[in-house]
Structure 1
Amino acid sequence: MVEKVLIPPPNPKGDANVIHYLSKQEVGKLIGLSVNTIKAYDRDGLMPAYDARVGRNNGWLPKTILDWWAQEHPASRKGAHADNRP
């Protein structure tokens, strides 16, 4: 069973001019990895370039993470695990 992960709204008040960037914890929830794995990926340069930085904290747009994850893990995409073995 696939767990659905909800992406947070742009912000709690619904202001369309405010962009919500995902934290490492939110990235982990979105793609099903622990926050420690996301921290290790970030430390080792395996994460996509961040979309925003506040202090020492990186932030990513959901699209950035989903595009990166689909590219790095194509079999995790729906229907992408067709058996192509001879």
Structure 2
Amino acid sequence: MTVDYMGPAEVAAYLRREHGAEIEGVTIRQYAVKGRMPKPDVRIGPNAGWSEATIAAWWANRPGRGARTDLASSEPK
């Protein structure tokens, strides 16, 4: 049985196709560098690969679920 793994560009394409996300491969690479991606299912040299199931679970359960958590609150103090 062959298992397919996705690199950052394929992850972004999957998220655009399946979830309507506006995301690019460079963003996925940045998330991986910053530790915001799940641990890769496979590594071949410096290249990370994730299964569709891993990405689907991460997308459904990621912190903030798309909310910008790095911005200051716009509520008056």
TM-score, normalised to structure 2, is 0.71
Going by fraction, where is helix more abundant, 1 or 2?
2
Aligned-residue CA RMSD (Å): 1.6
- Superposition misfits of 4+ residues, deviation over 4 angstroms: none
Q: Percent identity?
A: 36
After superposition, residues 68-83 of structure 1 pair within 5 angstroms as 68-72=58-62, 73=65
Unmatched 5+ residue regions in structure 2? 17-22, 68-77
TM-score, normalised to structure 1, is 0.64
1:44 alignment partner in structure 2: 34
- Cα deviation 1:3-55 (Å, max 9, x = unaligned): xxxxxxxxxxxxxx111101110101111310110010011010001100011
Unmatched 5+ residue regions in structure 1? 1-16, 76-86
> Of the two structures, which has the highest relative contact order with CA contacts closer than 8 Å and spacing of 6 or more?
2
CA distance in 2, matches of 1:49, 1:71: 14
